[in-house]
Every structure is written in C-alpha cells, then in structure tokens.
C-alpha cells in the first residue's frame, strides 16, 4: 500500500481542504507508486499564507546569525540523509543516482554558504555631506515569500530560494512541482528538524492553476521566486504587477556550445555529451545546440553520433545507466513533436528520434538520445526550447558567425566555447549574450556560491545563488542620524 503524505500548514501536517489526492509515480517504471500527495487549492494557500504572516515578526526579530545557524544545521541533516534523499529523488524524477547525489550536494553546499551569510547581511556606512551627521544603510526582510520550484532539481533549486529567504528573515510558503513532491516533503522535514519555527515554513502540494496562481495573486505574499517556463513566468509577472510584488524569474534556455577549429575535440565531445544528455536533457542549462567550425564539423559529428549511440538508457538506480527516463509522458510527447518539426524543416536526423521501450525500459518514459544535423539558424529546433535529449548541430565558418548564431534566440541563460585561443575566449566572454559563459567546459554545472541566471527571456534580471540572491530577499533601508543639535538642511543649495 502506497504511503500517503500531507501538506505542512500552520505547524501541522494536514490533508488538503478538499481531501483530493494525486499519485506520484516512478518515470522509469510507471507501475510503481512512490506516494500519494494532496491536491490542494486556494483555501489551503490562504491558510499557509496566514501561518507565514503570523510567524514573520518572531522570525524577523531572531538575530540573523542565529537564523544562519539553523540553516547550517539543515545542511548537517541533509549530509546525514544524502543517500536516502538521492535514491528517492531518482525514483520520483528519474535522473541517475550520481546526478541526484549531486543535486543533494548542491543543497548541502547552499546550506553552508547561506549559514555564513547570516553574519554577512551587509549594509553600508558612508560620509554625510553635513557636519555631525551619520549615514548608513541596512537590509531588512520583506515578509511572506512564495516559492515555486520545478521538478528537474527538486532539492537544489528549493534550497537556492528557501535558504536565503529564511536567512534574510522572511517566512515561506513553498509550492513544489507536482512531479517531485516527496523530495519537497523531505526538505521541509529537514528544515523543521533543524529548528525553523513551525509556522515560518509552509508546504502546499498541488498544480500551478490551483496552488501557484492563488499564491502569486495573494495580497499578503510580498515576493515570488519562480523557476520554470518563460510563458508561465510572463503570466506571473503580469499578475504580480497588480500588487507590486517583488518577483524573481528563472526561465527557459536554448544554450549552445561553440567548438572552434583549434579546440581539443575530445574534451569538447565530452562536454557536448554531458551537456546535451545529462539529466536526459531536462535542464534549463542543457546544451541544446552545438555550433561547429566547418573545418572540424564532419569529424566532430562522426565522433558525437558514435558516442551518443552507445549511451546506456535505463533506471537511474542502476549504476550502469547513463541516461534515465524523462519525467512524464508529456515530456516524451514534447520531444516527439520537435522530432517531427526537425524533419519537416529539412534537418537531417542523424541519431535517435524515437521513444524507447526496450527491455527494462518498457514501463517507463524513455526517449533515445537524438541528434539533428544540417540545422540552420532560423529553424525552430535551433531557436525553441525542447527540454529533452535532443541536440541540434549547426555549421559556421568562423568565430564571429558562431557568436551571431549562438545569440540568435530569445533566450540567454548559459553558453560555452571550446578554443585554445585566449583572445577568442575573452571576446566570447564579452560578446556572448548570456548570463553564464563557460570556457572549455559544458553549458551545465552551477556552483552554489556564484550567481545563476540569464538575460533576455530567460529571466527578469535577478539571480539565484551567490551573494546577489540576498539582495532579492531584502529591502534596503537608509538611516540618517543627525547629532548636531540644530536643523541642517540637506537637498538645499548649501554651496
């Protein structure tokens, strides 16, 4: 019998008001039910927001270093439970165990980084233009934070958002992706065990329309952090504008790896394979395009197709598996639809193109690694996000053309160039229009202490991770202390 899980609202584990539930199934074996979770609605969201609002004053008045200590303890607990969390994450979203371990480790790293930031919520002191007057700024929490996260990094991304939100003194209502509710539940259990006050963190399971929309529209929710599709991000931005919420959006990508004629081709090949087919291509930073210099194009394509054809598909818990399942049927159908688009546009299907149902993969949502060649820059498969194991190969005659082709999308998240020319590398850092650029590395691989995010339709200018995220979760307050004993007039022509 499958385990039934609950929401966490107002310090208690509770069913949804409606009592409705949904099954969470293993994408590698759809017969396996991982758990049964609430399907919540507006009433559940309202209760969670009330709880978070009630907890705000106590939590914001807890010294920031003490808040950081709690988050550091959460990192200790995650470390002790790393293997358990990783295996359950593989069961509920599919990626191989080495990757889910990395997902949890990213959360652990974020915990320890966030814990130290409790002692580093810096303001500024600056000289006043007037005598006997002191000027400074400080950072204050904002209020209730609505956190909406995706399924592809179900531990790392919630920690990127929730740890900084809590360290800064905000309280949280957490809406995780419907495909990964177990990891989210485990994360909230860890926060509570670490010492986060019961009402300061609230967990509401359910879909975007039934939970996400009421959370975004709630007038007592003061900030929203969302990772997901560009279309949904735009809708959130429009809705949040009515109440002037602060909104952080981390959205889509159509990331490219350039391989120049002077590159280490073996190194570039490993980067392309990992970037395109790691997490079965289900990353916002996945390598969706490879842009090859014409001098090495044919040789590199031969190497790429040969190696990709040998990648082993299967259950992510099997240590021999290199590519796990896609998360659900919809994602498989999306890739299949884009395979049809590529064929219709005249690209050459060099590898794959089919759903995979062989052997142990018969009951899961598997798709073959797929490569299109003869792709031109204006084709849809060169410009639209697929979010699956599908790679488009484009040919260019030089560096400037490669950069133009790379920039030729509405997205600007991650990018990569392989070259031995240091001048070209620095020009790429300058000219590639993306939030992240790797030199001689793949397009994937965030680090917890560095800002993460993109430009154009990849986001709205805020960053996850690193030091910048703490600016999103706080307001700046400016303080003037006049100890002159008489009226001094600033913003008057005192000269």
Non-local (6+) Cβ contacts of 356 within 8 A are 313, 366, 367, 368
CB 94 within 8 A of CB 327: yes
C-alpha–C-alpha distance, residues 471 and 225, integer Å: 13
CATH 3.40.309.10 in the chain is located at 255-439
* Residue 2 confidence (pLDDT): 85
By the 10 Å C-beta count (0-12 exposed, 13-18 middle, 19+ buried), 19 is classed as exposed
CA 355 – CA 487 distance, rounded (Å): 77
The DSSP element (H or E) to which 171 belongs, if any, is strand 171-175
Question: CB of 428 within 8 A of CB of 214?
Answer: no
pLDDT at 221: 98
What phi, psi does 213 have (nearest 5°)? -65, -50
Q: Alpha-carbon torsion 296, 300, 302, 303, what sign?
A: positive
- What is the predicted pLDDT for the residue at 492? 82
Measured CA to CA, the distance from residue 493 to residue 345 in angstroms comes to 67
Contact status, residue 348 vs residue 373, Cβ threshold 8 Å: yes
Which pLDDT does position 495 carry in this prediction? 75
The pLDDT score that the predictor gives to residue 490 is: 84
Instruction: Name the CATH superfamily, with its identifier, for domain 255-439.
Output: Aldehyde Dehydrogenase; Chain A, domain 2 (3.40.309.10)
The reported pLDDT for the residue numbered 279 is 97
pLDDT at 55: 98
Per the DSSP assignment, residues forming a β-bridge with 290 are 257, 393
Q: Which residues have a catalytic role annotated? A: 250, 284
Instruction: Tell me which residue of 191, 212, 51, 195 sits closest to 146, measured CA to CA.
Output: 212
CATH no., domain 7-251+459-478: 3.40.605.10
Copy the structure tokens of residue 70. 């709690």
Block mean pLDDT (10 aa), the chain, length 495: 94 98 98 98 98 98 98 98 98 98 98 97 96 97 98 98 98 98 98 98 98 98 98 97 95 98 98 98 98 98 98 98 98 98 98 97 98 98 98 98 98 98 98 98 96 98 97 98 95 78
d(CA 164, CA 161): 6
> What is the spatial distance between Cα 464 and Cα 160, in angstroms, rounded to a whole number?
6
Helical spans, DSSP H, in 175-296: 181-194, 213-217, 230-241, 265-277
3-state secondary structure of 77: helix
The reply to whether the predicted model has a pTM over 0.95 is yes
List, as own/partner pairs, every contact residues 335-338 make where C-beta atoms lie below 8 angstroms and the sequence separation is at least 24, other chains included.
335/367, 335/370, 335/386, 335/388, 335/389, 335/390, 336/367, 338/380, 338/381, 338/384, 338/386, 338/388, 338/390
**What is the model's pLDDT at position 416?**
98
For residues 167 and 114, the answer to whether their CB atoms sit within 8 Å is yes
Residue spans in the chain of domains classed CATH 3.40.605.10: 7-251+459-478
């Amino acid at each position: 019998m499958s385990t039934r899980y609950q929401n966490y609202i107002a310090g208690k584990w509770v069913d949804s008001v409606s009592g409705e539930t949904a099954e969470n199934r293993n994408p590698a074996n759809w017969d396996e039910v991982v758990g049964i979770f609430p399907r919540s609605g507006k009433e559940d969201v309202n209760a969670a927001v009330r709880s978070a609002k009630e907890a705000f004053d106590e939590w914001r008045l807890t010294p920031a270093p003490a808040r950081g200590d709690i988050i550091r303890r959460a990192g200790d607990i995650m470390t002790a439970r790393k293997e358990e969390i990783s295996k359950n994450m593989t069961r509920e979203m599919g990626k191989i165990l080495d990757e889910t371990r990395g997902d949890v480790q990213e959360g652990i790293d974020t915990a320890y980084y966030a814990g130290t930031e409790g002692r580093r919520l810096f303001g500024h002191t600056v000289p006043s233009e007037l005598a006997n007057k002191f000027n400074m700024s400080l950072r204050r929490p904002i209020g209730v934070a609505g956190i909406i996260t995706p399924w592809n990094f179900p531990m790392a991304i919630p920690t990127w958002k929730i740890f900084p939100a809590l360290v800064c003194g905000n309280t949280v209502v957490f809406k995780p992706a419907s495909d990964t509710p177990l990891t989210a539940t485990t994360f909230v259990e860890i926060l509570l065990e670490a010492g986060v006050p019961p009402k300061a963190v609230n967990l509401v399971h359910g879909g975007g329309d039934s939970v996400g929309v009421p959370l975004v529209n709630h007038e007592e929710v003061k900030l929203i952090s969302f990772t997901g599709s560009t279309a949904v991000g735009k809708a959130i931005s429009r809705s949040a504008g009515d109440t002037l919420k602060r909104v952080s959006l981390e959205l889509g990508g159509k990331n490219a790896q350039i391989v120049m004629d002077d590159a280490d081709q073996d190194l570039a090949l490993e980067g392309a394979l990992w970037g395109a087919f790691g997490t079965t291509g289900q990353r916002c930073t996945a390598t969706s395009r490879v842009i090859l210099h014409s001098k090495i194009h044919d040789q590199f394509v031969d190497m790429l197709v040969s190696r990709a054809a040998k990648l082993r598909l299967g259950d992510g818990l099997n240590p021999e598996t290199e590519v796990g399942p896609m998360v659900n049927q919809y994602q498989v159908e999306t890739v299949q639809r884009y395979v049809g688009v590529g064929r219709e546009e005249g690209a050459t299907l060099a590898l794959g193109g089919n759903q995979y149902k062989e052997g142990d993969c018969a009951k899961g949502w598997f798709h073959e690694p797929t490569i299109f060649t003869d792709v031109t820059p204006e084709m849809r498969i060169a410009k639209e996000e697929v979010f699956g194991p599908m790679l488009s190969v484009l040919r260019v005659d030089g560096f400037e053309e490669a950069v133009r082709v790379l920039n030729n999308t509405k997205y600007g998240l991650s990018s990569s160039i392989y070259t031995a020319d240091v001048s070209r590398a620095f020009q790429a850092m300058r000219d590639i229009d993306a939030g992240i650029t790797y030199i001689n590395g793949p397009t994937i691989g965030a680090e917890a202490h560095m800002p993460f995010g993109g430009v154009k339709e990849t986001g709205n200018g805020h960053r996850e991770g690193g030091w910048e995220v703490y600016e999103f979760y706080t307001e700046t307050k400016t303080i003037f202390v006049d100890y002159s004993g008489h009226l001094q007039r600033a913003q008057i022509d005192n000269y």
